[in-house]
Amino acid sequence: MRRSVWRSPASLGLLAGVLAIVIAHACELDGAASAARGDAAKGERLFATLPCVSCHDVTKPWPGGDICPNLGNIATEAARIIRLREYRGKARTAADYIRESILDPNAYIVPGASYRTPDGKSVMPKDFGATLTGAQIDDLVAYLLTRR
């Protein structure tokens, strides 16, 4: 009797690996789709007019920064951060991580003493969810995803 090729442990492992890659890619596409709602050019102008620019430098790579992390390569770093064991947020894509960081800065605080208040909270303002519209947040996310 011929044994099915999909019943061998190696084949099942390969199939599981391929499935994991397909699912991860689908999640990235979903994050990209949500970021596609935003306008990166509007986000860049918004970033420059909000307090963001007074604390974050988008011309230098992450982390760095005396007050807050540099965001010059935040899209790349966001994708890396969500895969860290220490990451406890809910984001599954770089776009979701950036959005989460804007709306809930305490979900993950980049290591660095100057990025925390004495009680261990993020120094980033926590009211952007109330002071910015959903479209503005989408625009900021779209802009920050261009920083690779």
Tens of pLDDT along 102-137? Answer: 999 999 998 887 899 999 999 999 999 999 999 999
Model confidence band, residue 22 (pLDDT cutoffs 50, 70, 90): very low
- Sign of the four-CA dihedral 76, 82, 83, 86: positive
Helix axis angle, 134-144 to 94-103, nearest 10°: 130
Q: Report angle CA 41, 43, 46 to the nearest 5 degrees.
A: 115
What per-residue confidence (pLDDT) applies to 128?
Answer: 93
Length of the chain: 148
* pTM for this model (two decimals): 0.74
The predicted-structure confidence for 52-63, as pLDDT tens digits, reads as follows 888 899 999 987
Record: fold of 5-144: Cytochrome Bc1 Complex; Chain D, domain 2 (1.10.760)
Which residue did the predictor score with more confidence, 17 or 148? 148
2 or 100, greater pLDDT:
100
List the structure tokens of 95. Answer: 């776009």
Q: Match 């770089």 to its residue by tokens.
A: 94
Nearest alpha carbon to residue 98 among 47, 42, 51, 48: 47
